């Protein structure tokens, strides 16, 4: 949905810019139209290509996103850290996972504390489930 919104906003912005710039351009309409849309097409391809590249580079493994979603709604963890701000984990640890269940270490950051957890995660058909977790350290801020 976010990607479609960006396309729509870009299209509206381009047409508004087209009509504004066309009024002040001293070139003939046909020459201006060809030049404007040629450069617009090049810039649009570069913009969406870079957007896709950034999304692909920053993509988190599914085991991480599903585990974090389960941890941040856990009432005991919410009580300890307050409102959820962010998380951290060791990327090397994730790449070394060969089989499930496995233990993964996470750090959750909240408004009132930071908590280090050892989480036992199990998997069945790309659905990851937190079986149990152990609090390693809890640091109140």
Single pTM value for the model: 0.62
Phi-psi region of 32 (alpha: psi -120 to 50; beta: other; left: phi over 0): alpha
- What does the pLDDT read at residue 130? 94
Determine the Cα–Cα distance for residues 28 and 34; give it in Å rounded to an integer. 10
- Hey, what are 59's tokens? 């993509």
C-alpha 23: how far from chain center: 40
| CA dihedral angle for residue 95, residue 100, residue 102, residue 104, rounded to 10 degrees | 50
Residue 27's pLDDT is 66
For the segment 95-141, what is each residue's pLDDT rounded down to a tens digit?
Answer: 888 899 999 999 999 999 999 999 999 998 889 999 999 999 999 97
From the list 105, 21, 25, the residue with the least C-alpha distance to 63 is 105
């Amino acid at each position: 949905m976010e990607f479609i919104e960006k396309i729509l906003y870009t299209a509206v912005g381009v047409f508004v810019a087209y009509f504004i710039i066309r009024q002040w351009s001293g070139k003939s309409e046909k020459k201006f139209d060809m030049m404007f849309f040629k450069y617009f097409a090049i810039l649009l391809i570069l913009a969406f290509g870079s957007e896709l590249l950034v999304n692909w580079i920053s993509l988190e493994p599914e085991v991480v996103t599903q585990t974090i979603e389960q941890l941040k709604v856990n009432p005991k963890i919410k009580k300890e850290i307050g409102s959820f701000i962010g998380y951290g984990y060791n990327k090397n640890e994730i790449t070394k996972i060969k089989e499930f269940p496995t233990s993964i270490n996470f750090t959750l950051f909240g408004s009132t504390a930071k908590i280090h957890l050892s989480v036992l995660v199990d998997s069945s058909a790309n659905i990851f489930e937190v079986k149990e977790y152990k609090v390693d350290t809890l640091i109140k801020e």
